[in-house]
Amino acid sequence: MNHKLTVIIIEDEKNICTFIETTLAAHDYKAVSAYSGKEGLSYITSLCPDIVLLDLGLPDIDGMDIIRKVREFSSVPILVISARIGESEKVQALDAGADDYITKPFGTSELLARIRTALRHSQMSANAPKSVEASYRSGDLTINFEKRLVTIADQEIHLTQIEYKLVSLLALNAGKVLTYDFIINHIWGPYADSNNQILRVNMAHIRRKMEENPADPKYISTEIGVGYRMREPDN
Amino acid sequence: MKHAKKRMDKKTLLRNILITSLILGFTTAGSFAFYNFTDNADNVAILYILAVVFTARFTTGYVPGIIASFFSVICVNYAFTYPYFSISFSLDGYPLTFAAMMIIASLTSMTTTHLKEKNRILNEQEKLLMEAEKEKMRANLLRAVSHDLRTPLTSIIGTSSTYLDSGPSFSEEEKCQMVQTIYDDSNWLLHMVENLLSVTRIRQADAHVTTSLEPLEEVISEAVSRLKKRLPEAKVKVSIPDDFIMVPMDATLIEQVIINLLENGIYHGNSDAPMELTASVSDGQAFFRIRDHGQGIREDLLPHIFDGYADTPTSSGDSRKGMGIGLSICKTIIMAHDGEIWAENLPEGAAFTFTLPLGDEPYES
């Protein structure tokens, strides 16, 4: 197949753009850099990229505004590049419609994994918006969505209704971070108390049932102040 | 004492008047009650002496005490000695009583004023000392920072310029090694910068942080996974209580502390045995204990290990392994949480422990 996936990088630091471009080109992506928000927005409309990498601190337009503007006309996956300190900024970007974030500085493998995950999810929802995968498998963990069955090393794990909903929601979005608000909205409905304590208690129960060592979890990782992320499924 | 009087403002004056009249009023009322009850006026003078002492103690300056003793003498003379309700200066020994009360009042005032003055001076000295200590810490930190930042930067710039200048003459293997050095040093630099940035989350005004309830296990697991991302070969054995425990904290900062302590153990322990990270709860405190099975901490470094620039001149110049800023930042962060942190040598290896207060409602109902 000759068609290369197009990535637009919106980032005002030329060095970082060059590094990402080189990396992506080496992995068979077509990478285009935009050094300002305006330029980036025009590339997104003209090039119809498969994914957008967006730095939030741009000189001309606020990163949040770019996310909102893009979301008005496109559902292209947006991967936000952010600094370590500033959980609120990440949460805001995710709630504004970004698909995931990656913390500066990052390694090549991490960047590629995030891009693959985002692409996988966007293709999944584009090809078959209704039918979801029948199962999730990662390491010893298997989730059968039809039978609502969770097993670890073929041993059935007994989860409560809410716990199963939580695990399946995370598994369907595996590899992607889900914010507290997003999860609470999905499980407890839009009118639920926005206090995330109940969510974290439930996650603690799930960890105790699913993880060998709850303090060193294999399947569901925590991103404190932001949300939870389930491990990518094995292929 | 003139300047004391000059400094006495209206508020102090009012306060003095109020206290003096209150004490004297109570004493007079008490004396009447006592007199009516026992029909005996001999001990009334003692009550007034007490009043004078109290007045001198609780007011500022000499004047209230002297006024109180003057009033007391008159009162005792007028109301409680024969002839009742008239002033008489011809009583036997009266001048002596008068003089004695005056002297008691002056002496007490003098002593208390002196004590107060001394206290103030002591307080001021302490404040100055604390300021100096803070200044010293700041200077130490700055020195440690510039030293610790310059070292990896020197290596990065040096290695990369060598590569650029004479790249073709090196073998592939050598080139790889050079890039690896640059990679390692930049990672170390990043770690340092993150440490320094974390301190900006501590409020300048009261040296505290904004805390929120966080599950202990999530903070620990994220810290360990972040450490493993950077040091994939690191081995950490984690154990936590079975209960679900929420601890008020700034999670980003506590993660930083855990990572610093684990890394410190890995670099300094010189041991292949895994690090141990144990969390427990007792007495309203969460305890985090990080221990290694290495060579322990040199006894002479132990008391100053959190001081920032602990490295003595005798220690090697390899500052990469000197956790100078790392440990002092740990202390700053834990202090900002009202917790405690300490280091100790165990029969095998060393242990760092820090505590965080659990607050009012540690357990989720």
Whether residues A112 and A35 share a domain: the answer is yes
Chain B residues whose CB is inside 8 A of the A205 CB are: 244
pLDDT at A165: 92
Pairwise pLDDT comparison (B361 vs A63), residue with the higher score? A63
Q: Is residue B134 part of a domain?
A: no
Q: Is residue A68 part of a domain?
A: yes
Interface size A-B, in CB pairs within 8 Å, comes to 61
Inspect the interface and report whether the beta carbons of B238 and A216 lie closer than 8 Å: yes
Whether residues B211 and B344 share a domain: the answer is yes
Q: Is residue B175 part of a domain?
A: no
List the one residue out of A227, A140, A215 whose CA is nearest residue A176: A227
* Structural domain ending residue among the three candidates B78, B102, B127: B127
Among the partner residues A213, A221, A223, nearest to B238 by beta-carbon distance: A213
The tens digit of pLDDT for each residue in A7-30 reads 999 998 888 889 899 989 999 999
Interface membership of A193 toward B (CB under 8 Å): no
Inspect the interface and report whether the beta carbons of B238 and A215 lie closer than 8 Å: yes
**Per-residue tokens: B358:** 């659990």
Cα(B270)–Cα(B268) distance, integer angstroms: 5
Whether residues A80 and A21 share a domain: the answer is yes
- Give how far B183 is from chain A: nearest CA, Å: 11
Q: Is residue A235 part of a domain?
A: no
pLDDT at A202: 92
Q: Going by C-beta distance under 8 Å and a sequence separation of 6 or more, which residues neighbour residue A48?
A: A6, A76
| CB B155 within 8 Å of CB B180 | no
Interface membership of A87 toward B (CB under 8 Å): yes
**Per-residue tokens: A59:** 């000189």
Interface membership of A217 toward B (CB under 8 Å): yes
Mean per-residue pLDDT, A205-211:
90
Mean per-residue pLDDT, B56-61:
78
The tens digit of pLDDT for each residue in A164-191 reads 999 999 998 888 899 998 999 889 888 8
To the nearest whole percent, how much of chain B has pLDDT over 70? 87
The 8-class DSSP code of residue A233 comes to P
Q: Is residue B245 part of a domain?
A: yes
Whether residues A9 and A123 share a domain: the answer is yes
Please check the confidence at residue B320 and state whether its pLDDT lies above 80: no
Whether residues A106 and A172 share a domain: the answer is no
C-alpha distances in Å from residue B95, one per residue of B75, B77, B98, B104: 14, 11, 5, 14
Whether residues A92 and A110 share a domain: the answer is yes
Whether residues A148 and A218 share a domain: the answer is yes
Whether residues A108 and A178 share a domain: the answer is no
Among the partner residues A85, A200, A214, nearest to B240 by beta-carbon distance: A214
pLDDT at B130: 84
Please check the confidence at residue B350 and state whether its pLDDT lies above 70: yes
Q: Is residue B106 part of a domain?
A: yes
Q: Is residue B56 part of a domain?
A: yes
To the nearest whole percent, how much of chain A has pLDDT over 90? 38
pLDDT at B288: 95
The tens digit of pLDDT for each residue in B202-253 reads 877 777 888 888 899 999 999 998 888 888 888 899 998 888 889 999 998 9
**Per-residue tokens: A113:** 């994994």
* Structural domain ending residue among the three candidates B73, B102, B127: B127
Whether residues B225 and B92 share a domain: the answer is no
Cα(A65)–Cα(B137) distance, integer angstroms: 43
Q: Is residue A36 part of a domain?
A: yes
What's A83's domain CATH number?
3.40.50.2300
Pairwise pLDDT comparison (B219 vs A123), residue with the higher score? B219
pLDDT at B314: 39
Instruction: Give alpha helix (H) positions in chain B.
Output: 2-7, 10-38, 44-58, 63-79, 94-166, 172-199, 216-230, 251-269, 324-336
Whether residues A72 and A19 share a domain: the answer is yes
Interface membership of B261 toward A (CB under 8 Å): no
pLDDT tier, B315 (very low <50, low <70, confident <90, very high otherwise): very low
pLDDT tier, B57 (very low <50, low <70, confident <90, very high otherwise): confident
| CB B45 within 8 Å of CB B97 | yes
Whether residues A140 and A92 share a domain: the answer is no
Inspect the interface and report whether the beta carbons of A224 and B222 lie closer than 8 Å: yes
Cα(B291)–Cα(B282) distance, integer angstroms: 19
Whether residues A107 and A179 share a domain: the answer is no
- Give how far B365 is from chain A: nearest CA, Å: 10
Pairwise pLDDT comparison (B341 vs B6), residue with the higher score? B341
The tens digit of pLDDT for each residue in A149-162 reads 999 988 999 999 99
Mean per-residue pLDDT, A77-88:
81
- B215 beta partners: B246
Least confident range from A66-75, B161-170, B318-327, B334-343: namely B318-327
Please check the confidence at residue B321 and state whether its pLDDT lies above 80: no
What's A219's domain CATH number?
1.10.10.10
pLDDT tier, B309 (very low <50, low <70, confident <90, very high otherwise): low
Interface membership of A39 toward B (CB under 8 Å): no
Average pLDDT, chain A: 87
Please check the confidence at residue B145 and state whether its pLDDT lies above 80: no
Cα(B27)–Cα(B19) distance, integer angstroms: 12
| CB B270 within 8 Å of CB B297 | no
Pairwise pLDDT comparison (B145 vs B209), residue with the higher score? B209
Nearest chain B residue (CA) to A206: B244
State how far Cα A168 lies from the chain centre. Answer: 15
pLDDT tier, A2 (very low <50, low <70, confident <90, very high otherwise): low
Whether residues B83 and B215 share a domain: the answer is no
Please check the confidence at residue B316 and state whether its pLDDT lies above 50: no
Mean per-residue pLDDT, B50-70:
80
Domain of residue A221 covers: 135-230
Q: Is-cis flag, bond preceding A105, omega within 30?
A: yes
pLDDT at B52: 81
Please check the confidence at residue A126 and state whether its pLDDT lies above 80: no
Please check the confidence at residue B7 and state whether its pLDDT lies above 70: no
pLDDT tier, B10 (very low <50, low <70, confident <90, very high otherwise): confident
Domain of residue B333 covers: 203-357
DSSP string, B266-294: HHHH--SSPEEEEEEEETTEEEEEEE--S
ipTM attached to this prediction: 0.81
Q: Into how many domains does chain A fold?
A: 2
| CB A62 within 8 Å of CB A36 | no
Cα(A186)–Cα(B228) distance, integer angstroms: 32
Please check the confidence at residue B312 and state whether its pLDDT lies above 60: no
Whether residues B353 and B235 share a domain: the answer is yes
Please check the confidence at residue B317 and state whether its pLDDT lies above 70: no
What's B212's domain CATH number?
3.30.565.10
pLDDT at A131: 52
Interface membership of A109 toward B (CB under 8 Å): no
Whether residues A104 and A154 share a domain: the answer is no
Cα(B280)–Cα(A19) distance, integer angstroms: 44
Whether residues B212 and B94 share a domain: the answer is no
Amino acid at A74: S
* Structural domain ending residue among the three candidates A68, A101, A127: A127
Q: Is residue B351 part of a domain?
A: yes
Whether residues B91 and B227 share a domain: the answer is no
Nearest chain B residue (CA) to A104: B190
* Structural domain ending residue among the three candidates B127, B146, B172: B127
Residue appearing with tokens 């006026």: B41
* Structural domain ending residue among the three candidates A95, A127, A159: A127
Whether residues B207 and B118 share a domain: the answer is no
Q: Is residue B313 part of a domain?
A: yes
Q: Is residue B365 part of a domain?
A: no
* Structural domain ending residue among the three candidates A108, A127, A146: A127
The tens digit of pLDDT for each residue in B246-278 reads 999 999 899 999 999 998 888 887 788 889 999
Whether residues A101 and A12 share a domain: the answer is yes
Please check the confidence at residue B33 and state whether its pLDDT lies above 60: yes
Q: Is residue A45 part of a domain?
A: yes
Mean per-residue pLDDT, B186-196:
84
To the nearest whole percent, how much of chain B has pLDDT over 90? 15
Average pLDDT, chain B: 81
Q: Into how many domains does chain B fold?
A: 2
- Give how far B143 is from chain A: nearest CA, Å: 25
pLDDT at B133: 78
Whether residues B73 and B207 share a domain: the answer is no
Q: Going by C-beta distance under 8 Å and a sequence separation of 6 or more, which residues neighbour residue B205?
A: none
pLDDT tier, A38 (very low <50, low <70, confident <90, very high otherwise): very high
Among B71-75, B112-116, B275-279, B327-331, the range of highest mean pLDDT: B275-279
